[in-house]
Structure 1
Amino acid sequence: MSKASRWAWIISLVAVIGTGLVLVFLLSLATNSRGIYEHHYVWLFWVNVVVAGLLVLVIGIAGVRLTLRVRRGKFGSRLLLRLAAVFAMVGVLPGVLIYTVSYQFVARSIETWFDLKVEGALEAGLSLGRGTLDTQVNDLATKTRLAAERLSDTDQSIQPLALERLREQLSAQEVTLLGPGGQVLATSGRTARFAPERPTTAQLRQARSSRVVGQLEGLDEEHAADSSEEPRIRALAYMPSSSFSLTAQDRFLMVTQLLPSAVVANALAVQAAYREYQARALARDGLRRMYIGTLTLTLILAVFGALLLAVALGNQLARPLLVLAEGVRQVSRGDLTPKQVLAATDELSGLTRSFADMTGQLSDARALVQRSLAQLEAARSNLQTILDNLTAGVIVFDREGRIDTVNPGATRILRLPLSAYRGRPLGDVPGLQEFAAAVKQRFELHHTSPEAGERDHWQDAFDLQTGTVNGMERDRVTLLVRGASMPHAGRLMVFDDITEVVSAQRAEAWSEVARRLAHEIKNPLTPIQLSAERLQHKLEPKLEGTDQAMLVRSVGTIVNQVQAMKTLVNEFRDYARLPAARLQALDLNALVTEVLGLYATPQDAGRLKAELGGGLPAIVGDTTQLRQVIHNLVQNALDAVHDQPDGHVRVRTDVARNEQGELRAVRLQVVDNGPGFPEKVLKRAFEPYVTTKSKGTGLGLAVVKKIADEHGARIRLANVPAGDAEGQGIAGAQVSISFSKLAPADSPPAVPATA
């Protein structure tokens, strides 16, 4: 906007505001005085018309200029047009609405002012006031007449004291005894120091004819204007002479009583309201025209002032808003370069500066966010890589105890699809209910009463039974679990499978025990046996009868027990000094067939069956050691079903594949329908001297486990569940060995030699 245009708008606004103030003053003055309004109404109307015409001219010029800018397509013209329209609507629409409502309100309100009910109420109030006053006048007149009759019966000379008593009885302001011509004979009252007002001749004549006259004074317009005279009631009673003397004269008794101030005020108010109502009723049309004219003049000033302000403010707001609009369009396209700033000091220009500062901050923030996202993504990738490659299992629980994060190590150790149970408690995973309850209890115990050294985390070992890959078999594992609390009430559980470590530690311990036993026990056994045999050789010829028999029996017992001890020591020695495996390619089916040939009798009786899978690849193993493994497993199974008439043992071979159908291992299974493994034996079946047989050292499965470890095979023990309708009970035991080391395809398997 140019400087000349700016000054033109300022002068226009000042002129409009000045004219408006003058008109408002005149209108308010005219509203308070109908005469002034009716006298100046015409020229006020034409002044308003002139001002309105000037405003229309100014607004028309501005509208033409704005229309030309819109037609030329100048940037920002539509925004300016919209701003002007918005400001105009803000001024015009509320003004029209207020004018319409006010017009209806004024028109109908004035009509309600002159409603018949209002007029009747005013007349009724006026009549009520008049009736009340007339009642008081009549009452005072009656009392005055009775007092005059009593006084007429007394002596002609009436003392002032009698008048004072009469005044007090009548609660009057003044009591006066008048002569026949109205002259004052005696008086008593609050204004007795002044000469009482004498009644007129007409009043005396009327009192003589009607005995008493009462009238109300001071409430008419003339007396109301004189504030020095208080409204009062005056009663004049005729006192005929009761004496027969020729000199006797008639007298009059005049009583004056003031009206209560409240009654006077109400009476005057009712009279004034009634007179004003009658005056307004006669000037009803003029009153309506006065108020409606006031509203119309005010509306014209408000509407045109709003239009003028709309154009002026639209021009002032347009430029900074246009700068902001252009900046917003650039930012929406992703352009965060420095933006234009206006040099003015008003708020909108300051807004352009703030917008420019904000754009710069957004640019810096975007760069910072991009760097932070890159760092976060790198950290997340590093963390995910670490979790995926950890051999330990990691499970993160949220504050509700639900699984939030699971790494592949946890799935591998537990051999359960834990990722499918994200968002659910660990107890929902099949087979982990007891483990989940134990872990939860351990977390709560650590939270309430941590042990020494467990301030940040706790550590404990758990034995649990997990599922294998195909979900059919069960396997016992020992987990070393570490738990810690995380921010936001989360929990972290890290665990390792230490089954092999525990088993190796136990095997190493038993190997050490076996070596010590073999060394400490075997050496004295031979001298004991030789000494016993020498005693028998020297003493047997010298003894006879029962003594000789007892010697032979005792020496035989010693020799037999020494042989048993030698056998036990030899088994411990073999367990402790198991020779290193000589691995080579071999056919597992051929080796199983060769070993089962030693059990022809159970096979002929149907108690031992072979179910060998076809197309098995060659494995890498030691023929001698694996023959011992098969022999021990078959013999243990036959011993388990020895006392059962329908007992049978099945030896199966097959291949194990993953979900994609890829070959993973060759599996050997020995299954019987015996009583199964007791729970306490199942946990420690591979430890030496753990057995269910009444006779035996319990080294069979321990040797089998050691040989399987030498071959890199995984051995698992499980009880086969019963296949009844309820699915309860045990239907036998199963030992499974999976050989994951397979021979190359071009390596011919070795032919097992006959044992």
Structure 2
Amino acid sequence: MARSLSLQLRLTVLLVVVGIAGALIYTGVTQWPLPQLIVWMKKDLSLVVPMPTGPYSGFIVTLIVLLPLSLWLGHLVMSPVNRMLRALEGAVASYRDGDFSFSIAADRRDELGDLIRMHNALGQTLREQRQNLAQRELLLDTVVQNTPVALVLSDASSRVVYANIAARHLFNDGKSLQGLDFAELLQSTPETLRRAALSGEDALLTVEMDGSEETFHLSQRNFRLQGRPHRLQLFRRMTRELSRQEVATWKRVIRVISHELNNSLAPISSLSHSGAELARRGDTERLPGVFATIGERARHLHGFIAGYASFAKLPAPQATKIEWPQFLQGLALHCQFRLVGKVPEQPGWFDAAQIEQVLINLIKNAHESGSADDQVTLSLAVIGHELRIEVADHGPGMTEIVLAQALLPFYSTKRSGTGLGLALAREIAEAHGGRIALANRDEGGLRVTLLLPLMLV
């Protein structure tokens, strides 16, 4: 498509034409042929004709003739531009109202034509994006509506803006929740669920519904939607999942206990039979060894059962003020470690017996990693309102899979391990209001961090 003259060139030509026309009119009025024509009319026709004299008269006459010409030429040039601007104004208003179907039909080969084509391309892009967005919204709505998690979106006045099918069945017998007051709907729910939903906090709760217990995990978030505050609440039924996890945990416990019992009872049974046979033969010299082995396996089995009992019957911690020199001296009597850094001036606040047991287990694990005795370190530090205790080694560390499961009860990578050491440490830390974390060190080895709250003075 050949490109026509640009707007700038057209305006330049128009100004040149007007300028030339003005010069010709001024010359015609002041120089030729108007003065000669007036002289001829006065001389030959004896007519009285006024004669414009001076440059001002010519200038005034030029303006009188040139002004209508300029207006006509300006209208001729600006008329399509004005039509185009009105069309663009209508298109922008349509876009503002969310209507992207507006397009401009014009066949121009100048700057305005380029602007029109860019506008139409923009409209096509917006229409395609809106269509894709509508399809995504439809897909998202389908997924959300059919998820088993009950979803309720309410505004600042507690009116339900959006709710999926699971939420309708949970709160309104399958009927729509749109526009209803969610706080009023909660009045017909169990007290535990109502308090949790109105608290604004995440919670794991068990309520009685339809004659049975249901466990829910509640997630709540506040955010702004279109500039207005809203609250999103997710009610997830956890009963079936928790039941599956409980069954899986019990199966793991049964496997561990069965394995350990078989490892102890099988040799005890065999040794008892051998001892009886030796007694029958009168061979009493070998009987003490048989009885010693039976006693050893019995003691191992007793320790194994005692470990499970201590985990299941962990008493509530009795936190007291802890002076570090005495505590570290007592810990050094049970295990070997190298103290790194300074001891905090502020005393600790925890159950000395329970935390000592935790540290003994952690230091023992560090030694079992293959680290040298002087490579097992213990460090103490006060961070804010928390006490940080770290046990580090220079062993091989843990894989990501082991790190993710090491704190779970009955999980162990050792053939003879019970999987209770780290789980017991986690249980004691959480009972103190603290937490425990495992991480591989950059320089090699594992670092176990125990964080405990400090007593506020």
TM interval, shorter chain, is 0.3 to 0.5
Q: Which has the larger radius of gyration?
A: 1
Q: TM-score, normalised by structure 1?
A: 0.30
Q: TM-score, normalised by structure 2?
A: 0.46
**Which of the pair has the greater relative contact order for Cα pairs under 8 Å at 6+ separation?**
1
